[in-house]
Amino acid sequence: MSRNDPYPSVDAVVERYHADAAYLVQMLREIQETRGWIAPPVVTELARTLGLSRARVEGVAAFYSFLHLRPVGAYRVLFSDNVTDRMQGSEALLAYLSEKLWVEKGKLSEDGLLSIDTTSCTGLCDQGPGLLVNGRAIPRASRERLDVIAALILDRQPLDQWPAELFAVEDNIRRADLLLGNRLAPGEAIRAAILRGRGGQTEAAANERSWREANPAAALGPAATLEEIKRANLRGRGGAGFGTGVKWEACRNAPGEMHCVVCNADEGEPGTFKDRVLLNRHADLVCEGMTVCAYVIGGGGATRGFIYLRGEYRHLLEPLEAVLARRRAAGLLGRDICGEPGFDFDIEIHVGAGAYVCGEESALIESLEGKRGIPRSRPPYPVTHGYLGQPTVVNNVETFCAAALVAVHGGEWYRAVGTAKSAGTKLLSVSGDCERPGIYEYPFGVTVRQVLEDCGAGVGKRATQAVQVSGPSGTLIDASEFDRRIAFEDLPSAGAFMVFDETRDMFDVARNFVHFFAHESCGFCTPCRVGTAMMRNMVDKIHGGRGTQRDIDEMCQLSKAMHMAAHCGLGHTACNPMQDVMKRFRPAIQRRLRRLEFAPAFDLDAALAVGRRMTGRDDAGAHLETEA
Amino acid sequence: MNESDLPSFLLDGEEIPFTPGQTVIQAALTAGHYIPHLCYHPEFVPHGSCKVCTVKANGRPAAACTLPAQAGLAVESDTDELNDLRRTLVQMLFAEGNHFCPSCEKSGNCMLQALGYDLGVMTAGFRHFFPDRPVDASHPDILLDFNRCIFCKLCVRASEEVDGKGVFSLTGRGIMRHLIVSAESGRLADTDIALTDKALEVCPVGVILRKHVGFAVPIGRRRYDERPISAQALDDAPRMMEPKHG
Question: Is the separation of the CB atoms in B112 and B94 below 8 Å?
Answer: yes
Q: Do A520 and B174 touch (CB under 8 A)?
A: yes
Q: Indicate the number of domains in chain A.
A: 5
Q: Å from A295 to nearest chain B CA?
A: 33
What 3-state DSSP class applies to A131?
Answer: strand
**ipTM of the complex model:** 0.95
CA nearest to A533 within chain B: B175
Using CB atoms, pick whichever of A527, A529, A601 lies closest to residue B175: A529
What rounded mean pLDDT belongs to chain B?
A: 93
Using CB atoms, pick whichever of A52, A59, A379 lies closest to residue B171: A59
Distance CA B177, CA B170 (A): 7
Q: Do A534 and B95 touch (CB under 8 A)?
A: yes
- The answer for residues whose C-beta is within 8 angstroms of residue B22's C-beta and 6 or more apart is B30, B68, B69
Distance CA B118, CA B120 (A): 5
Q: Å from B66 to nearest chain A CA?
A: 7
Q: What is the dihedral of CA A251, A256, A258, A259, to 10 degrees?
A: -10
What 3-state DSSP class applies to B67?
Answer: coil
Is residue A620 included in any domain, yes or no?
no
Is residue A179 included in any domain, yes or no?
no
Residues A371 and A229 in one domain: yes
Question: Is the separation of the CB atoms in A421 and A488 below 8 Å?
Answer: yes
In this predicted structure, what is the pLDDT of residue A592? 87
Using CB atoms, pick whichever of B165, B177, B181 lies closest to residue A529: B177
Residues B212-229 have pLDDT tens digits of: 998 899 999 999 999 999
Q: Do B48 and A530 touch (CB under 8 A)?
A: no
Taken in order B25, B29, B35, B41, the sign of the CA dihedral is positive
Distance CA B123, CA B116 (A): 9
Q: Do B49 and A40 touch (CB under 8 A)?
A: no
In this predicted structure, what is the pLDDT of residue B208? 97
Distance CA B120, CA B107 (A): 17
Distance CA A64, CA A355 (A): 6
In this predicted structure, what is the pLDDT of residue A198? 85
- Chain B residues closer than 8 Å to A377 by CB: 46, 48, 63, 66
Range of the domain at A154: 75-167
Q: Do B93 and A63 touch (CB under 8 A)?
A: no
Domain with residue A123: its CATH number is 3.40.30.10
Distance CA A226, CA A295 (A): 10
Distance CA A234, CA A244 (A): 6
Residue of B50, B171, B185, B192 for testing the chain A interface, max A β-carbons within 10 Å: B171
Residue of B60, B90, B173, B188 for testing the chain A interface, max A β-carbons within 10 Å: B173
Query: How confident is the model over B53-80, as a mean pLDDT?
Result: 97
Is residue A382 included in any domain, yes or no?
yes
Question: Is the separation of the CB atoms in B77 and A514 below 8 Å?
Answer: no
The DSSP 8-state label assigned to residue B39 in this structure reads S
Is residue A4 included in any domain, yes or no?
no
In this predicted structure, what is the pLDDT of residue A7? 79
Domain with residue A585: its CATH number is 1.20.1440.230
Residues A497 and A518 in one domain: no
Q: Which class for B141: exposed (0-12), middle (13-18), buried (19 or more C-beta within 10 A)?
A: middle
Query: Which one of A473, A504, A535 terminates a domain?
Result: A504
Q: Å from B63 to nearest chain A CA?
A: 8
Residues A327 and A218 in one domain: yes
Domain with residue A486: its CATH number is 3.10.20.600
Nearest-5° Cα angle at A235, A230 to A237: 145
Residues in chain A, pLDDT under 50:
1-3, 207-214, 216, 628
Any A CB within 8 A of B174 CB: yes
Residues A154 and A231 in one domain: no
Q: Å from B92 to nearest chain A CA?
A: 6
Q: Å from A124 to nearest chain B CA?
A: 25
Q: Do B169 and A55 touch (CB under 8 A)?
A: yes
The H-assigned helical ranges of A495-600 are 506-520, 526-543, 549-565, 569-573, 576-584, 586-590
Is residue A174 included in any domain, yes or no?
no
Residues A343 and A292 in one domain: yes
Any A CB within 8 A of B184 CB: yes
Residue of B77, B88, B130, B159 for testing the chain A interface, max A β-carbons within 10 Å: B88
What 3-state DSSP class applies to B54?
Answer: strand
Any A CB within 8 A of B189 CB: no
In this predicted structure, what is the pLDDT of residue B237? 78
Residues A397 and A536 in one domain: no
The DSSP 8-state label assigned to residue A443 in this structure reads E
In this predicted structure, what is the pLDDT of residue A199? 79
Residues A223 and A275 in one domain: yes
CA distances from A599 to A131, A587, A628 (A): 38, 20, 13
User: Percent of chain A scored above 70 by pLDDT?
Assistant: 95
In this predicted structure, what is the pLDDT of residue B72? 93
Distance CA A356, CA A351 (A): 13
Using CB atoms, pick whichever of A54, A523, A565 lies closest to residue B172: A523
Residues A297 and A192 in one domain: yes
pLDDT band at B19 (very low <50, low <70, confident <90, very high): very high
Structural domains present in chain B? 6-78 (3.10.20.740), 100-226 (3.30.70.20)
Q: Å from A101 to nearest chain B CA?
A: 29
Residues A92 and A111 in one domain: yes
In this predicted structure, what is the pLDDT of residue A5? 65
What spatial distance separates the first Cα and last Cα of chain A, rounded to whole Å? 61
Residues B116-146 have pLDDT tens digits of: 999 999 998 899 999 999 999 999 999 999 9
In this predicted structure, what is the pLDDT of residue A365? 98
Return the amino acid letter for B162: V
Using CB atoms, pick whichever of A379, A521, A601 lies closest to residue B173: A521
Query: Which one of A487, A504, A521 terminates a domain?
Result: A504
Residues A454 and A487 in one domain: yes
Q: Do B89 and A526 touch (CB under 8 A)?
A: yes
Q: What is the dihedral of CA A62, A68, A69, A73, to 10 degrees?
A: 160
In this predicted structure, what is the pLDDT of residue A8? 78
For β-strands B8-11 and B74-76, DSSP reports them as parallel
Q: What is the dihedral of CA A129, A133, A138, A142, to 10 degrees?
A: -50
Is residue A104 included in any domain, yes or no?
yes
Is residue A604 included in any domain, yes or no?
no
Is residue A610 included in any domain, yes or no?
no
In this predicted structure, what is the pLDDT of residue A201? 57
Q: Do A601 and B129 touch (CB under 8 A)?
A: no
In this predicted structure, what is the pLDDT of residue B246? 33
Any A CB within 8 A of B151 CB: yes
Smallest CA-to-CA distance from A251 within A105, A361, A135 is with A361
Residues A160 and A265 in one domain: no
Residues A345 and A439 in one domain: no
Query: How confident is the model over B168-196, as a mean pLDDT?
Result: 96
